[in-house]
């Protein structure tokens, strides 16, 4: 990720609708929907247990910022996987990932694959699995966590929208149509208790949740407190 000898000679950025903002070693900056400061703040929590020397699978990688960050932090092997945004009906393409891969001179591997198709046989088991911003896009979140767990050797990191966190029960909120963020691909938001219970049920013994550092709940914004928040959960064997 320090840049390869080829980095300066790759073609200039094509017209890409970036989701991630990248700051490439040659000085080029892409401005995506997720600002670089937001990504860096999330990364401090996501990678809190370290990935140096680890194998890492990034499920739903899109423009790949977290895959390249894992590589930058010394991961031994990184596999970035996506389908919906790379070749499915999703909001983007793989052009951003491929451009970033060249710009970073990266060795991150890729697979066009959905979480529902993952197992210990294929693509195999990874020390650390990133499952960031994907869970609430899935119609069957428990089944998705089972698949994610099946490819996790040590730590599964889940970043997700939550709903009803202050309630003392295991609940999930369902988004009808496009009522969450105007996006009809948002389905389920568990609350923290529900998310942690599901993660224990799919085989993790130690589960810790913190609020996504980019979400600041405020009494003037009850949606963020009562209805929706975002969390980052580390589920460990
Ligand atoms: C909100 S983006 C999150 C991107 C990145 N992981 C992050 O946190 O910044 C959601 C990603 O999930 C991917 N996705 C949607 N359905 C998926 C599925 N069934 N399996 C794996 N990834 C999926 C989308 O293609 C998209 O890249």
**6 occurs within a structural domain:** no
How far CA 206 is from CA of 48, 156, 202, 233, 237, in Å, comes to 15, 11, 12, 10, 7
Q: Against a cut of 0.85, is the pTM above it?
A: yes
CA separation for the pair 114, 67 (Å, rounded): 16
Residue owning the nearest CA to atom 16 of ligand 1: 84
**91 occurs within a structural domain:** yes
- Residue 132 structure tokens: 């960031």
Number of folded domains that form the chain? 1
Using the atom order of ligand 1, give the atom closest to the CA of residue 159.
8
pLDDT of 69 reads: 98
**4 occurs within a structural domain:** no
Look at residue 219 and tell me whether its pLDDT is greater than 80: no
Between 162 and 91, where is the model more confident? 162
CA separation for the pair 30, 36 (Å, rounded): 9
Ligand 1 centroid distance, CA of 36 (Å): 18
**110 occurs within a structural domain:** yes
What is the CATH number for 228? 3.40.50.150
Centre a 10 Å sphere on the Cβ of residue 71 and count the other Cβ atoms it contains.
22
Centre a 10 Å sphere on the Cβ of residue 127 and count the other Cβ atoms it contains.
18
Residue numbers of the domain that contains 88: 17-236
Look at residue 5 and tell me whether its pLDDT is greater than 90: no
Question: Model confidence over 11-48: pLDDT tens digits?
Answer: 555 689 999 999 999 999 999 999 999 999 999 999 99
Contact 53, 71 (CB under 8 A): no
Residue owning the nearest CA to atom 13 of ligand 1: 60
């Amino acid at each position: 990720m320090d840049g390869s000898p080829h980095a300066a000679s790759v073609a200039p950025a094509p017209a890409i609708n970036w989701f991630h903002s990248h700051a490439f070693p040659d000085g080029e900056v892409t401005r995506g929907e997720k600002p670089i400061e937001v990504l860096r703040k999330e990364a401090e929590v996501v990678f809190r247990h370290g990935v140096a020397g680890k194998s890492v699978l990034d499920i739903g990688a899109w423009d790949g910022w977290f895959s390249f960050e894992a590589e930058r932090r010394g991961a031994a092997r990184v596999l970035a996987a996506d389908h919906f945004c790379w070749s499915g009906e999703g909001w983007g393409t793989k052009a951003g990932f491929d451009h970033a891969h060249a710009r970073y001179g990266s060795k991150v591997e890729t697979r066009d694959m959905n979480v529902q198709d993952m197992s210990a046989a294929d693509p195999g088991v990874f020390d650390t699995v990133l499952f960031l911003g994907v869970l609430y896009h899935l119609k069957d979140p428990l089944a998705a966590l089972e698949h994610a767990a099946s490819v996790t050797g040590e730590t599964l990191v889940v970043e997700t929208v939550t709903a009803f966190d202050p309630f003392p029960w295991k609940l999930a909120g369902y988004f009808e149509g496009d009522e969450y963020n105007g996006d009809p691909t948002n389905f389920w938001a568990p609350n923290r208790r529900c998310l942690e219970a599901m993660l224990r049920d799919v085989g993790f013994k130690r589960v810790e949740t913190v609020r996504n550092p980019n979400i600041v709940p405020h009494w003037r914004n009850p949606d963020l407190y009562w209805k929706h928040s975002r969390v980052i959960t580390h589920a460990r064997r």
